[in-house]
Amino acid sequence: MMNRRSFLKAVGSAALLPMLPRPILAGNGFSRVRPTSAAWPSPQAWKKLSEAVGGNLIAIDSPLSVLKSDPDSSAAKSIWKSLKNPYYIGENPGLTETMGWLDAWASKPSVYAVAARNANDIAAAVNFARENNLRLVVKGGGHSYQGTSNAPDSLLIWTRHMHDIEIHDAFVPQGCAGTIPPQLAATLGAGTLDIQAYDAVCNKAGKYIQGGGCLTVGLAGLIQGGGFGSFSKRYGLAAASLLEAEVVTADGQIRIANACTNPDLFWALKGGGGGTFGVVSRMTVRLHDLPKLFGTVSFTVKASSDDAYRRLVRQFVGFYREHLFNDHWGEQAHIRPDNALDIGMLSYGFDVDQMKQIWQPFIDWIKNSRDYSIKFPQLIASFPARHFWDVNWWKQHWPETMWRSPGGNPMIGLLDWTLRHLVPQPVFDLDPRPGTENAWWKQNTGEAGWFIWGYQSLWMPESMLQESEQQRLADALFEASRHAAVGLHFNKGLAGAPPDAIAASRDTAMNPSVLTAFALAIVADAEDPAYPGIPGHEPSVDKGRQAADRIEMCMQKLRTVAPDGGAYVSESNFFEKGFQQSYWGPNYPRLAEIKKKYDPDGLFVVHNGVGSEQWSADGFTRL
């Protein structure tokens, strides 16, 4: 579960021209064709492609068009409401979960989409795009903050409907017999969402699959970006669990990539960035054992003054190092500008008594000072790990599970909370459309249809947890929080993980900084839902730029203690400086060579992806 940031409502309107970047003009070099070009494929050519993919070629009309043509209509009002439903967004090829990024991009539909059913459909689309010199984009979950799963005037390969799941008791990658022992694994279609994987593997099979925290994220994109879930501190990167992938490369060939067949491509797919080396059609991932229990600790501490808050941050840093810096704890702490420390963490394998014992020293320190108050609601609870992603189970047990153990014994609250302090609301939001049973974590609702003002990340090195460095870290966090809220995502730094998780994650394309980071610091702000050019719903330019400035000042304070920390490609600054080093560090040269081998002409171009420096910002013109 994630509660990443607060959102501000759109205020006022703004002119579109100063907010969005000007289009890149084609130069004298190679340039892809647009619908206005004489070289654009003929209707007959598109008809042949449609036949080749079984009639699954879709002409895309953006649902947002009615918001401009008839903004006061009931249809327009319905769409604004629907933009808070991530399933509505994901089921429409003309929409993306993120509506855009201030001064960077706005969501634009492709001209056509191939609703792929299998690798052959994907290969047909890849060949058509290459032969007709088209801009090509790929979308599964459609969550890309940086707009990599959409582009105007393009052909979209849409994998949403490819979500078959098969569990194997003894999987051996092709060509690896006698080299890699049989393993418990699951093969997933490229359009599989986290919730679908968790349901099949965890709820039904009683095993664990390393997916993401947000339930509507696509597994294929998650893995290609490296991938973190709430329990990554225990299990490692999602990419580290990849055993094999079926992938269509730029030449239209359907290839198998694993440790024994096309091992270079296999390595690049493990964290080298989605939509860059080919189109993944299916993947097989290693499964893990589930513990009996997961747990949660959630509360807020408010300090009475700046000095008291500085001491609180210092105390928490030391407490984290001594008690929480291990593979049992993930998720977040937020250091806020209003002198409040938010704790929202998940535990692996602990019951309530164990969590109570772990957190008691910190709570006692707070209670022994008049400078602090603990705000309600406060929560400590454990629940069966097998049901953590089981929506029907939560429906039946909420809020009982929040105060009763799996054995039925009442939980004694670590933070002196009682039932009246609980918030009796579901942990999920449900798809309101008739005939659906879709659900997502309530904390992720804000990300549906949001328009980003700024978003930056930085891996925080474990060296800053040394006793001699803790004060410097705490001071940097305090100074940073004077500008914006800092989220420390402990599950997104692998320091403290078990040796086998570290070893598997080291064998990926991710920046090795992730291996020695105790957390990923994220600072961000956005408004929702908003979209340029829609009267009354345009992104607030002035407020957005002010927020972006605060985020930059905040991150500058953090960089004083982590100057070379690097950033997480899937959650980072659109304007990331030196993205090659930030995202992949010393692995970038190897990734660039693999890109050149499998996609020498740059058919696959995404913003700040491997090889993207050779292309214009819109991906149409070779520089």
**How far apart are the two ends of the chain, measured CA to CA in Å?**
42
Domain count, the chain: 3
- CATH number, residue 374: 3.30.70
What's the pLDDT score for residue 246?
Answer: 98
- Percent of the chain topping pLDDT 90: 83
Helix (H) or strand (E) holding 514: none
Q: Are residues 305 and 257 in the same domain?
A: no
Is pLDDT larger for residue 574 or for residue 69? Answer: 574
Name the residue with higher pLDDT: 416 or 42.
Answer: 42
Q: Does 599 fall in a domain?
A: no
* Residue 520 included in any domain: no
If DSSP states are collapsed to H, E and C, what string results for 289-335?
A: ECCCEEEEEEEEEEECCHHHHHHHHHHHHHHHHHHHCCCCEEEEEEE
Query: Would you state the pLDDT for residue 427?
Result: 82
Q: Residue 578 pLDDT > 90, yes or no?
A: yes
pLDDT score of 399: 56
Amino acid at 46: W
**61 and 85 co-located in one domain:** yes
Kindly state whether residue 306 falls inside one of the protein's structural domains.
yes
Concatenating the DSSP letter of every residue in 214-228 gives: STTSBHHHHHHT---
Q: How confident is the model at residue 86 (pLDDT cuts 50, 70, 90)?
A: very high
How far apart are alpha carbons 90 and 160 in whole angstroms? 8
Q: How far apart are CA 450 and CA 8, in angstroms?
A: 10
Tell me the pLDDT tens digit for each residue of 332-389: 999 999 999 999 999 999 999 999 999 999 999 999 999 999 986 678 989 899 999 9
How many C-beta atoms surround the C-beta of residue 500 within 10 A?
11
547 beta partners:
none
List, for residues 211-242, the tens digit of each pLDDT value: 999 999 999 999 999 999 999 999 999 999 99
| Per-residue confidence (pLDDT) for residue 389, from 0 to 100 | 95
Residue 483 lies in a domain: no
Question: What is the amino acid identity at position 360?
Answer: Q
What is the reported pTM?
Answer: 0.91
Query: What is the bridge-based pairing of β-strands 105-106 and 98-101?
Result: antiparallel
Last residue of a domain, one of 419, 441, 469: 419
Average pLDDT value for residue range 568-573: 98
Using an 8 Å Cβ cutoff, are 449 and 486 in contact?
A: no
Residue 560 has pLDDT above 90, yes or no: yes
- In the three-class reduction of DSSP (H, G, I as helix; E, B as strand; rest coil), residue 438 is classed as coil
Same domain for 265 and 388, yes or no, is: no
Residue 394: the pLDDT is 85
pLDDT of 69: 86
pLDDT mean over 400-406: 39
The span from the CA of 119 to the CA of 189, in Å, is 10
Distance, in Å, from the CA atom of 345 to the CA atom of 376, rounded to the nearest integer, reads: 16
Domain identity same for 284 and 297: no
pLDDT above 80 for 107:
yes
Q: Give the mean model confidence (pLDDT) for residues 143-166.
A: 97
- If you count DSSP H runs as helices and E runs as strands, how many of each does the chain have, helices first? 17, 23
pLDDT class of 24 with cuts at 50, 70, 90: very low
| Statement to judge: residues 155 and 15 lie in one domain | yes
Distance, in Å, from the CA atom of 2 to the CA atom of 177, rounded to the nearest integer, reads 40
Same-domain status, 155 and 19:
yes
Contacts of 48 (CB under 8 A, 6+ apart): none
Is 605 a member of any domain? no
Same domain? For 298 and 369 the reply is yes
The CATH number of residue 72's host domain is 3.30.43.10
pLDDT at residue 258 greater than cutoff 60: yes
Domain stop point among 419, 434, 458: 419
Q: Containing H/E element for 471?
A: helix 470-481
Query: Would you say residue 372 lies in a domain?
Result: yes
User: Which of 124-133, 268-277, 534-543 shows the lowest per-residue confidence on average (mean pLDDT)?
Assistant: 534-543
The answer, yes or no, to whether residue 5 has pLDDT greater than 60, is no
Reply yes or no on whether the pLDDT at 416 is more than 70.
no
Predicted confidence at residue 425, as pLDDT, reads 55
Within a domain: 589: no
Average pLDDT over residues 97-107: 96
Split at pLDDT 50, 70, 90, the class of 283 is very high
Residues in the chain, total = 623
Q: Is the pLDDT of residue 126 over 90?
A: yes
| pLDDT score recorded for residue 376 | 67
Give, in order, the Cα–Cα distances in Å from 457 to each of 153, 275, 415. 31, 21, 31
Q: What's the CATH code of the domain at 243?
A: 3.30.465.10
CB atoms within 10 A of CB 570: 24
Q: How far apart are CA 278 and CA 604, in angstroms?
A: 7
**Does residue 52 or residue 7 have the better pLDDT?**
52
* Higher per-residue pLDDT: 15 or 359: 359
Name the token pair of 339.
Answer: 């002198």
Judge if 123 and 196 occupy the same domain: no
What is the domain extent for residue 150?
11-159
Residues 258 and 233 in one domain: yes
pLDDT of 409 above 60: no
Confidence class for position 92, pLDDT limits 50, 70, 90: very high
Return the pLDDT at 271: 98
Among 289, 316, 334, residue at a domain's last position: 289
Res 8: pLDDT: 29
Per-residue pLDDT band for 397 (boundaries 50, 70, 90) equals confident
Q: What is the pLDDT of residue 419?
A: 31
Q: Please, what is the angle between helix 306-319 and helix 352-367, to 10°?
A: 150
pLDDT tier for residue 414 given thresholds of 50, 70 and 90? very low
Lowest mean pLDDT among 94-108, 196-210, 363-377: 363-377
Is residue 12 scored above 60 in pLDDT? no
pLDDT of residue 26 exceeding 90: no
Q: What is the DSSP string of 19-49?
A: TSPPPPPP-SS-B---TTSTTSPPHHHHHHH
**Residue type for position 526:** A
- Cβ-defined contacts of 126-129 (< 8 Å, 24+): 126/157, 126/248, 126/249, 126/250, 126/252, 126/279, 126/603, 127/252, 128/41, 128/45, 128/49, 128/52, 128/155, 129/155, 129/603
Please report the pLDDT score of residue 426 as a whole number.
64
Mean pLDDT for all residues in the chain: 91
Q: Please give the average per-residue pLDDT across 464-485, as a whole number.
A: 98
Do 331 and 413 reside in the same domain of the chain?
A: yes
| 552 has pLDDT over 80 | yes
Are residues 357 and 250 located together in one domain of the fold?
A: no
Between residues 61 and 517, the one the model is more confident about: 517
The stretch 118-146 carries a mean pLDDT of 97
Percent of the chain at pLDDT > 70 equals 90
pLDDT of residue 156: 98
Q: Is the domain of 173 the same as that of 247?
A: yes
Q: Would you say residue 68 lies in a domain?
A: yes
Check whether 142 has a pLDDT greater than 80.
Answer: yes
